[in-house]
């Protein structure tokens, strides 16, 4: 998909009084992005280089996503250590941007699969409001949220962890803790054979994208 120039739309923006940097209204981007939806897409996540805010009364947000509408947005701006410290010159700058971006990206995408914030365990779905919270948030889901996601979209847990491990193996130093956690899950589930036992019944549990549900219910109304 080609990048779209959001400044050419009517999305509201402002200069943040604390940072002196431009910010765009995340809620309006979520709506504006719907004109670019592909027909066969489950959801669309917009990626911004500039900072975001969800409501006029909020200082900023890392990202925002709909639980049902299939649209979300997140910004790379605050993942760069230079955002808060223009003199930051450490060699880990690129790694930090990658880690933070992956954490928020997976968080916002999981919202779009109908999962709310998690208050049970340390989890990718814990609410994130500060840089410190973003740094310590794990990349993967706790058992409660994993189960919710499985019920919503249906997948084999072992297969999912195996695919995740393949990706994380490409960045062994950057995602050291996450990689170790996922490797342990793959090892454990391979031995226990649990992944087959909790495979959902696809016909019952397949998540329905509300965009298409609306069309279906419209059809139903016509039929009756």
Distance of CA 38 to the CA centre of its chain: 19
Residues in the interface with Zn ion (CB under 5 A) total 5
Query: Which listed residue (4, 66, 108, 131) is catalytic?
Result: 108
Cα separations (Å) of 215 from 34, 67, 210?
A: 16, 18, 9
* CB of residue 146 to Zn ion, shortest distance in Å: 8
Question: Can you tell me which of 125, 139, 149, 158 binds Zn ion, judged by CB under 5 A?
Answer: 125
The answer to whether residue 104 forms part of the interface with Zn ion (CB under 5 A) is no
Q: Is residue 145 part of the contact set for Zn ion (CB under 5 A)?
A: yes
For the question of residue 159 being annotated catalytic, the response is: no
Give the C-alpha separation, 189 to 6, whole Å.
45
Residue 159 in contact with residue 182, Cβ under 8 Å? no
For helices 157-168 and 176-192, the axis angle rounded to 10 degrees is 150
> Among 138-146, 158-166, 172-180, 184-192, which window interacts with Zn ion (CB under 5 A)?
138-146
CB of 71 to Zn ion, least distance (A): 14
**CB 148 to Zn ion: min, Å:** 8
Token pair in block for residue 131 = 């840089």
Q: Pick the closer one to Zn ion by CB: 94 or 139.
A: 139
Does residue 118 belong to the site contacting Zn ion (CB under 5 A)? yes
Q: Which of 77, 47, 80, 85 is nearest to 60 (CA)?
A: 77
Q: How many CB atoms lie within 10 A of CB 198?
A: 14
Decide: is 142 part of the binding site for Zn ion (CB under 5 A): yes
Measured from the CB atom, the residue of 66 and 77 that comes closer to Zn ion is 66
CB of residue 138 to Zn ion, shortest distance in Å: 9
Judged by CB under 5 A, does residue 109 bind Zn ion?
no
Provide the sign of the torsion angle of the four alpha carbons 161, 141, 124, 89, taken in this order: negative
Q: Contact between 123 and Zn ion (CB under 5 A)?
A: yes
Spatial CA neighbour of 100 closest among 121, 124, 71: 124
Positions that interact with Zn ion (CB under 5 A):
118, 123, 125, 142, 145
Active-site annotation, residues:
108
């Amino acid at each position: 998909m080609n990048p779209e120039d959001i400044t050419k739309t009517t999305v509201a923006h402002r200069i943040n009084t604390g940072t002196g940097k431009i910010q765009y209204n995340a809620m309006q981007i979520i709506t504006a992005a719907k004109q670019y939806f592909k027909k066969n897409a489950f959801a669309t996540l917009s990626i911004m280089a500039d900072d975001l805010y969800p409501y006029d009364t909020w200082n900023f947000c890392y990202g925002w996503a709909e639980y049902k509408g299939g649209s979300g947005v997140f910004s790379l701006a605050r993942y760069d250590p230079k955002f808060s410290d223009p003199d930051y010159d450490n060699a880990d700058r690129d790694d930090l941007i990658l880690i933070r971006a992956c954490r928020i990206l997976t968080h916002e995408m999981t919202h779009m699969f109908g999962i709310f914030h998690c208050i049970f365990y340390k989890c990718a779905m814990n609410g994130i409001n500060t840089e410190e919270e973003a740094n310590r948030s794990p990349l993967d889901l706790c058992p409660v949220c994993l189960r919710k996601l499985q019920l919503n979209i249906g997948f084999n847990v072992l297969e999912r962890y195996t695919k995740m491990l393949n990706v994380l193996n490409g960045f062994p130093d950057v995602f050291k803790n996450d990689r170790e956690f996922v490797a342990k899950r793959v090892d454990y589930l391979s031995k226990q054979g649990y992944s087959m036992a909790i495979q959902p019944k696809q016909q019952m549990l397949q998540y329905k994208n509300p965009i298409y549900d609306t069309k279906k219910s419209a059809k139903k109304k016509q039929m009756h």
